[in-house]
Structures are given as C-alpha cells and as structure tokens.
Structure 1
Amino acid sequence: MRRARLRLAAGRPDLALEVLEQRPEGTNPAEPTTGLLLLRAEVLTALERPSEARAVYEEVLARDAKSPVALAGVGRTMLDEGRHAEAADHLRRAVAKGPPYEATYLLLAEAESGAGHLDRAEEALRQGTTALPKSAPLWVRLGEVGIARQNWAGAATAFQHALALTPDAVPTLLRAGFVADRLEHPNEALALYERATESEPQNPQAWTSRGLALLATGRPADAAASFDRALALDADFAAAKSGRKLATEKTRDQQVQKYGREALLLEARVNRPVAKNDLFVTLHVPYEFLEPVLAAIGHSPAIALDRLSAEEVRELESGSYQLITAALERRPPGIEHRGLTLADVAVL
C-alpha cells in the first residue's frame, strides 16, 4: 500500500494501480482489506474511471454502510460523471447517515453549485462549519460561495475564520483581500496583501495585488515599486504590466496636482496669473510638466484636503488668506467694512 500511495502522490496513478494489482506471496486476493479497497478506489478516481471506482466504494459500503470515506467517494464519482443532482441527493443522505466528514460537505457544496443552487451550497457549508469549526477548507469554500453570490460581508467573515486557522495561507489572504476591496476597505485589503507578500515573497500575484491596493490608497509611487517586484519575478505577468502603467500615470497626475497647488499659491502671492517662466524658475517645475500644470490650473484642479500633509495645509491656508486679503484691497461694491459673509467670499 505504501508504494502505491507514494506513486499516487507523485502524480502517477497508473503506476499505483500496477502496484495494487500485484499479488505478493501469502496474500489472499479474495479478501482485500478495507484500506486497500479505499486506496484502489482513490486510484481509479484519479485515473478518471468513475464507474469502476464507485463499484469499489460500494464494496466498502457493503462492509460498513456508514463509512464516511466511501459515502463521499460515491458522491465524487457521480460528480465526475456530471450527475450533480443525483450526487447532491446522495451526499445529503451521507451527511445524515455518517459522522461529520469534511469531504462530504465540500462535495455536497460542489454538487449544489454545479446544479445552480448556490443558496443550498452555502447552507451545506454552514452546516459543515458548525459540525467541523476547525476545518479551514470548509471556511474557504464558504467564502468562495459568498463571492459567487456577491455576499461580500459573509465572504469576509468566512475568510477571517479560515485565516484564524491558517494565517499564512497565501491563496486565502489574496481572496480575503479581494473581498475587502469589494467592500471598499482598501487599507484592510492592503494589510492582507502585505501579509501575503511576507508569507510568499516569490508570488507575483501577491505583489500585484499589493500594488493595486496601494493605488487605491493614493500611493502610486509605492505601487509602482510593488509592480516592479512582481515583474522581476515574472516579466510577462500581464496584470503587473497593466498596474505598472497605471501607477506611472497616477504618479504623473499626482505630481501635476502638486505643482498645480504650488502654482495656485504663487498666483495668490504675486496677484497675477503665473506663466511658464514662473513655474520653471520660481517653483522649479520640470520642463515636461509645464504644459500639464498650466492646463490643470486652467481647469481649477480639485484639492483633496484629507490627503494633504500638514505643511501643505498650512501653505494652502496662508495662500488663501493672501488671496482674500488681495481681493479685499480691490474690494468690489457691496462688501461692508463690518466683515465677510459666505456670499461675500463667493463673490471673491
């Protein structure tokens, strides 16, 4: 049995079957053990011979009608034949008949999903996680069904349970990050992707997902570095290439907005529209940014106050004060000396 199992684990079920069909001296071929029968059925399943595998599983059930492995195995062979509805009926009976068994719940969920009943699949998995709360695969599968149903909150909870059991499982971290992104929790998604890159630094998908999360949190320069790391691992990784291009564009846009804010502050100080010479000489704006910055000023770029540094906020406040002061010196009719109303500010 050990030789056969080793060959099966190595991806050679054909060789495993050859070993099982050998008859060592002193062995009674008419009375194979239950363990040997189950291994043979597993090998036949791997060889995509479901009807033969089911016959072996049924031989086991003739000995032990509640064998969870055999009950699940019969369901597996039905699924391999595309008989999802029959498999679901059989596996529901298996859940009721035998002791809690992880594979039975997973196969039942697969059968219900294949039959188009995602709600029943979720119900089966919830039943499984109740019976086997320490089963990470059940929680992961519950999260996947939540994604399929676009039940993002439920999926997030399921993945949290799975990660509590297997905190370094990179596929689970990536899926949990995807769900957090769908819930519009970019910082949480970033934290999950950070864990994924720490657990498996050679995974280009982890670095790419991290880069996308950094873009979502307004850090394009850091995102570009993350995409570069992914491309260093796999130069043809399409998602990383697209992300790197987007990060470059976002970094450029961010620089244009920064120079645009500085240009607006300069306009407030000099009390006249700024020209290219002002940008280049006074603000040291790189030549390639002169036209984009002037265009941005012409379109009154919005300023995201929540993303400004403390120093930038102080500069903006100072510039705004200077702008209003300069306007007051040319005070239009209607603004009294008593002070400014909101309407007065709008006039300015």
Structure 2
Amino acid sequence: MSTEAEQADQIERHLERASSLFGAGDPLGAAEVLSRILQQDPKHKVAAYNLALCYQIQGLNQQAIMAYEDALAISPKDVASLCNLGLLMEAEDRPHRALELFKRVLELDSKNLQALERIAYYRYQRGEWQLAKDALKEAKKVDDQDPRLLELEGLVAYGEGKYANAIEAYSLSLGQDNHSASVWNNLGNAHVKNAEIREAENAYRQAINLDDHNPDYWFNLGEMLFHYATKAEAIDPLKKVVELMPRDLEAWTLLARAQADARPADAEESFCQVLGLGGETQDLLKTLASLYRKNGEKEKEVDARVRLSKLNPYDMENNFAIAQIRLNQGQPEIAYKLLQDCLTISEKEYETWYRLAQNFQLERKLEEEFQCLEKVIKANPAHHAAWTRLGHVALQKDLPQKAFKYFFKAAPALKNDYSLWKLVMERLTEEKEWDMALECCGQVFELAVYSPRIWEDFFKHFRRIGEEPRFLFWLQGKLFDPQTTSAHALPFGAILVSCGKPDLALQLYQTLLNKNPSDRAAHYQLAEYYLGLNQPKEAAETARQGLKTHPNDYELVIALGEASYLEENYPEAGRTFNRALGLRRDDWRVWFNLGNVEARLDRPVEALKFYDVALDIYDQEPKTHFNRGLANRSVEAWDRAEQDFKNAVRLNRRYAAAWSALGALALRQNRLQAAKGHLLRALASSNRQHQVAWNNLAATFEALGDEAKRDQCLKEAEKN
C-alpha cells in the first residue's frame, strides 16, 4: 500500500510540474513530464488528455491525433477530447471523420455549442444550405448571440446568393464582436455582391486594420478597387499582396494590368513576374505588347507578339501588328510574308475580305477598306465587327447618317457604348437629324443607373444647341412609357434635379409611386428629393409611407431621421437614428447623425462619443471631423478641436467652414498670421460669401493694427 501511495504522490507532483511548465509557455517540457506519468500509469486519463493538448498547441497534429485516440480509449465519453480530435481531423482535411466525432459529442452533450457549430460548418462547406441552416437553428437555441454562429449564418446566406441577409448576419456578428477581421472581410464580400461599393471598401479596410498580414484581405480590396474604382487605387493593395505572397499569380496578373493602365513605367517588372510564374495567356501578352508599344519599345513588343502568335497563330490583329512594325523598321520582306500568311489561313471568303479591310485600314485607304467591308457584310450580315468598322469609316467620310445605320446594325455588340453613341449623336445634331440623334441617346438609356454623368452631358449638349425642349419631350416619352421599368426610370430623378428640372423629377417620382405604391427605392429617392429642397415635412411623410410596407428598411429610417433633424425635432430624430442603429451598426452615417442630435441638444460630451465611433468606422468624411471639432470646442478641448478642423481641411481643401473655424481658434490664441491665412482660405473657398470669416478677419486686422483693412472686412461682412 505504501508503494502505491508513493506512486500516486509522485504522479501528483509530476502533474503539478507539467501544469507549471504549460503555464510558463513550455508545452514541449510539459509533454515530456506527462509522458513519464503515462509510463507509470498508462490509464491516467488527465495525463493522456493534457499530453494530446500539448501536442496540439505545438502544431504536431499527427502526435496529437494519436494522443487523443489514446485518451479516448481510456475515457470514451470525454467531450473535450472528442471536440479537439474533431478539430484536428478538420485541419487534416478529413471532414467525414470530424463529422462523426462531433455527432458523438452531441450524443453525450446535445447542447455542446462547438460541436453544433462545426456540424453546421461542415454542411456549409459541402453546399448543403438547408442542412446548414437546420444545424445553425439548433446551435442558436443554445446561444443566439454567439458571433461565430452569426458569422456562419452570413456565410450560408452568401452561399445561397442572399447577400442582403448575409450583410445583416455579419453586422449582427460585429455587433457582438467588432474585432473579427474575417467577419469584416466577409461583410465586404457581401457588399460587393450587393453593389454597395463604398460600404465594401470600408469593410475591407476594417479587416486590414485588424489583420494587415492577411493577403486575402488586401487582395479583396485591390480587386474591388480595380473593377469598381480606379486602377491607380488598386495598385498599393495589390503590391501588399505580392509582398506577403510573392508567388500569387492572380495578384501579380491584376497588379500588372493595373500598372499598365495607371503607371506604365512600373508595369514591366510585374508582367515578367507573371510570365515567370507560368501565367502566360493571350490577354496578358496582348496587354504587355500594348504596354511596349506605348513605351516605344518595338523589339520587346515584337517578342511579346511572337509569343502570342505561338498561342494563337490565327490572331489577325497580332500578326498585322508584327507586320506593321517590321515594315516601319525597313524589313518589307518579313512584313509581306506575314501578311501573305494571314491571307492563306482563311476558310471562308468573307474572312479574307475582312482581313484585307484591316490591311487597308493600316494604310488609311478609306475607300478600299469601305468596299472590302461591304463585301464582308454581304457574305455575313451578322458580322458585328464589320458593321462597327463600317460605321467608323462612314464617320471619317463625314457621313453620320450612314454611320448611324451601320452602328445600329452592330448594336448588340455596341450596346451601352456611351462614347460612340455620344459622338454619333453630336454629328447627327449638326445635320439636324433629330430622330436619329435621339435614338443614339436611347441606346444608352439603361446606363443612367451606373453613370448619371452620361445623361447630364446629353442635357448640356442639347441645351447648348438650343434644342433642350425637343430633348426633354423625347425623354419624357421614354420615362413615362408604361413599358419602362422603375429600375431604369428611377435614376433619372436625381439627373433631372441636377440639370435644373426638379418639377419634372417630382412628377417622375409620383408617377412611379402611383404605378407601384410599395416601391421602396422610389420612396427613398423621393424622400431624398424633398430633403435636398429643404422640405423636411414632405420628406418625413414620404419616408413614413415607405416604412409602412418596408418597416425595416435602413435607408428609409435614415431619411426619416434626417427629416426630423431638419424640422429641429431633435428628440424624435434621436429616436429614429437609434432605430436605424438597431438595423445596422457598421455605417458611419447613423453614428454621425446621432452625434449631431446630441450636439443640437447641447450635450457635446455625448456627441463626441458618437463622432468617435463614426470615425472608427470611416475616417475619410470631412464633415465628421468638423462636427467633432465643434463638439471639442464646446467642451474647451482646444487642441483636439484644432486637430479635427485640420483633418477636415486635409480631406477637403475647400471646406470653408473648417478653415474659418481654424482661423477663429488661431485668433483666440493670438496667432494672428495663422488666423489671417486660415480666414483668407475660408473666404477663397466660399467665393467671399462667409460672414463669420469676414468678421473674424476684421478682428485679426484690428489686432494687427491695420484699421483700413479692418474697415474693408466689416463692409464685406455687411454685404453677406
């Protein structure tokens, strides 16, 4: 008995030693001690479990798996061992075995949240959406506020293509824990799919702020900027990706394309990286050849085009480009052979005529090219490229009517080509061919939702030539046509307002709502219309009508809050914005508006809290910095106020109110030269229409002893 007691006492001391080493961050040493315990007592379940845990923490997955199997042989119903072994099976890409283990956990503990979550994740990975949702439903019975479950709910909704539901789930998850980089990244993905680009950028940047060493987050931001912003903005995030992942072919390819467009001097190195990684494609080589052509590097261009011709010997455009270079370099024999090769690989007559037309295009022989193209369309009336080129030739021959007919034939291939139809429209108006000109505008009717600037340009053109009434009459016919959908007509409301036709915009909104009283977007646009005209009562009523059918529409709630704010009903505005906060917590606007309400209620300390959250979410909005500066000024936090005003003018160099506030602060601190500079910037930014700035500038000149300028400033202040 004494020997057994001594052995038990020795095992207890070993366990304490192992626990001490584990707590000191030495799992390897702890594992050695635990192994000795198991040599003495092979069925010691605590030592067996802890040994497996030590291996798992060190990333020794195979050893950990064997140790957990040993632990389960000793204690088959140990839930912790089953869960951890399941996680290891997932890490080793053995999902079916992991599923079996998690199911065993639920047999022992039906409310084990980790097992429920991992089963739901297994279903999600296999695309079994309904089974995943069923598993999540069971898990949420245990804890419906767990941020991981909410994130998984968002992943399932995203997989189903229900992006609005995914956004809602991710937002709820962030409401519980807004320090999860993966959730911010997933939220960005959902916003992109939902065409909410500004929100997507904000979400990606939040993910990067939390984990700036994850290449996926940088790539998602770069890819989004590449497609939806500018190529120049995409470059820095993509460079960060290849810095973290030097062999990421997709990132190098996107970076090369962005640099070729925005920074051609830097693009060659990226293209070489892509080629070195085996990313040689026809599109890539074409882009590289175009880059060399732009830089005037003919031999490198030829090398790229020769590589391209090996991938596609039948690319006529590429072969002719090589021939043209050789011809310009004084090598006509090579050029001639290339051209002859191009003419012998055709299988149909019209293709030969089309290549001949391209040849004449290179030589700028319009008449010969025109004749060849006509033979092409005679042989193949569906040759859209030939119709398009015929249109361009007709324009060069100053035949806009013919150009219109040719382009119209090619319209399926030219649909929404704004620059082309605008050019033809302008030429047709010179010929007073009004019906054809307006039909050109109709070709890009559906682009209004993506680029309202197009239609503003049309307005300006017809106004400039004195034909705005004709254009408006035609446009009204399109907008109020019963066949025109609300999605296509609605964007014209804001366009009409920007072009000085607010009454027509109001008529459009009312017509659309009469047609469909539950049109959420129309209610929101009409509410924004009234807010823009400073008619808060009408805006509030419109928002309320929309909320009757869409009670949880975030944008309508925001519009209602802004209307209450403009009516100076600040308590009601605060309640409304808090209602919006219950729908979304990741939008800076709602926090900003709540800060404004608190400021109006003379509670600057509370206002500052809301402004701080708004800036944590999105720090590129000048007016948020400015309003926080006003709140800091109210509590006499002068230094912080000055920094806020500086941030506002850094983001908007023509922010007159912020320059004026900086001038007033400098005047208060007796920094007279700085005050004068700031106030002059305020006046320059407001077309000299800022009364407060004039008064402060007068006080500044008085302090400087310049009475003449003081009096001049006071006279200007009286005018305003």
TM category (shorter chain) comes to: 0.5 to 0.7
1:29-68 superposed matches below 5 A: 29=41, 32=44, 34=46, 36-43=47-54, 46-48=60-62, 50=65, 52-61=67-76, 68=79
Q: How many percent of aligned residue pairs carry the same amino acid?
A: 14
**1:165 aligned to which of 176, 180, 184:** 176
CA distance in 2 between counterparts of 1:194 and 1:81 reads 31
Give the superposition deviation at 1:144: 3.8
Q: Whole-Å Cα distance in 1 between the matches of residues 61 and 168 of structure 2? A: 37
The 1-side partners of 2:467 and 2:170 are apart by 56
AA matched with 2:182:
P
8 Å Cα contact 2:45-2:75 kept in structure 1: no
Mapped to 2, the partners of 1:263 and 1:28 lie a distance apart of: 90
Conservation of the 8 A alpha-carbon contact between 1:260 and 1:301: no
Residue by residue over 1:256-281, the C-alpha shift from the partner in whole angstroms, topping out at 9 and shown as x without a partner, is x9998997898699x58xxxxxxxxx
Q: In structure 1, how many angstroms separate the alpha carbons of the residues matched to 2:95 and 2:204?
A: 38
2:154 and 2:423 mapped to 1: Cα distance? 49
> Does structure 1 conserve the Cα–Cα contact (< 8 Å) formed by 2:145 and 2:176?
yes
1:30-88 deviations in Å (ceiling 9; x for gaps): 78463x33212435664425465234135335xxx5x5314434655777795827x64
Amino acid at match of 1:84: H
- Which one of 84, 91, 100 corresponds to residue 111 of structure 2? 100
Equivalent in the alignment of 2:217: 206
Give distance in 2, aligned partners of 1:81 and 1:232: 28
**Partners in 2 of 1:262 and 1:115 — Cα distance?**
49
- 1:320 positional shift: 1.7
CA distance in 2, matches of 1:202, 1:44: 26
Q: Residue 90 and residue 117 in structure 1: after superposition, are their counterparts in 2 closer, same or farther (change >3 A)?
A: farther
Q: Deviations over 1:259-311 (max 9, x none)?
A: 98997898699x58xxxxxxxxxxxxxxxxxxxxxxxxx9x9959556356xx
Asked whether 1:84 is paired with 2:90, we answer: no
Alpha-carbon shift at residue 340 of structure 1 (Å): 9.5
Kindly provide the CA deviation profile for residues 315-346 of structure 1, in whole angstroms up to 9, marking residues without a partner as x. 643322334659x9xxxxxxxxxx99649x99
Q: CA deviation at 1:124?
A: 2.0
Change (3 A) 1:117 1:200: closer
| Shift in Å, 1:111 | 5.4
Match of residue 135 from structure 2: 124
Structure 1 letter corresponding to 2:68: A
1:201-260 per-position Cα deviation (integer Å, ceiling 9, x unaligned): 4544333322332344344443345435545666654333333344467779xxxx9998
Letter in 1 for 2:460: S
Assess if the C-alpha contact under 8 Å between 2:45 and 2:74 holds in 1: no
The number of residues matched between the two structures is 289
Question: Helix, strand or coil: the match of 1:100?
Answer: coil
Are the aligned partners of 2:151 and 2:183 in contact in 1 as well (CA < 8 Å)? Answer: yes
Name stretches of at least 5 consecutive residues in structure 1 with no aligned partner.
273-297, 329-338
| Contact 1:54–1:73 (8 Å) recurs in 2 | no
Contact 1:268–1:320 (Cα < 8 Å) also in 2: no
Q: Determine if contact 2:48/2:68 at 8 Å carries over to the other structure.
A: no
Provide the rounded CA distance (Å) in 1 between the counterparts of 2:178 and 2:121: 25
TM-score, normalised to structure 1's length?
Answer: 0.59
What residue is the counterpart of 1:284 in the other structure? none
Alpha-carbon separation, structure 2, partners of 1:246 and 1:308 = 27
Partner of 1:21: 35
State the distance in 1 between where 2:93 and 2:240 align. 43
Aligned to 1:318: 460
Name whichever of 258-267 and 149-158 sits farther off: 258-267
CA–CA separation in structure 1 for the residues paired with 2:183 and 2:51? 32
The aligned amino acid for 1:320 is F
Q: Does 1:196 align with 2:207?
A: yes
Aligned partner letter, 1:321: R
Output the amino acid matched with 2:174. L
Q: Per the alignment, do residues 75 and 183 of structure 1 end up closer, same or farther by CA in structure 2, a change over 3 Å counting?
A: same
Specify the structure having the higher radius of gyration (Cα). 2
After TM superposition, list the pairs within 5 Å mapping 1:279-318 onto structure 2.
Answer: 304-305=447-448, 307=451, 316-318=458-460
Which amino acid is the alignment partner of residue 69 of structure 2? R
Q: Per-residue deviation at 1:199?
A: 2.9
One-letter code aligned to 2:75 = V
Q: Secondary structure at the match of 1:192?
A: helix
Which has the higher relative contact order, 1 or 2, with Cα contacts under 8 A spaced 6 or more apart?
1
Q: Tell me: CA distance 1:325–1:137, structure 2 relative to 1, closer, same or farther (3 Å).
A: closer
What are the equivalent positions in structure 2 for 1:179-328 lying under 5 Å apart? Answer: 179-228=190-239, 230-231=241-242, 236-247=247-258, 271=430, 304-305=447-448, 307=451, 316-323=458-465, 325=467
CA shift at 1:128, angstroms? 1.8
Q: How far 1:137 sits from its partner (Å)?
A: 3.1
Q: Per the alignment, do residues 97 and 308 of structure 1 end up closer, same or farther by CA in structure 2, a change over 3 Å counting?
A: same
Letter in 2 for 1:60: S
Cα distance in structure 2, aligned partners of 1:55 and 1:144: 35
Q: Flag the 1:221–1:73 CA change in 2: closer, same or farther, 3 A.
A: closer
Matched to 2:200, the amino acid is: A
CA contact (8 A) 2:48 2:70 kept: no
Structure with bigger helix share is 2
**Unpaired runs of at least 5, structure 2:** 1-17, 264-416, 432-439, 479-720
Deviations 1:111-158 (A, max 9, x none): 556888553343223322331334333333444444455554554343
Q: Residue 51 and residue 181 in structure 1: after superposition, are their counterparts in 2 closer, same or farther (change >3 A)?
A: same
Q: Which residue identity is paired with 1:139?
A: L
TM-score by length of 2: 0.32
Paired position in structure 1 for 2:185: 174
Q: Which residue of 2 aligns with 1:289?
A: none
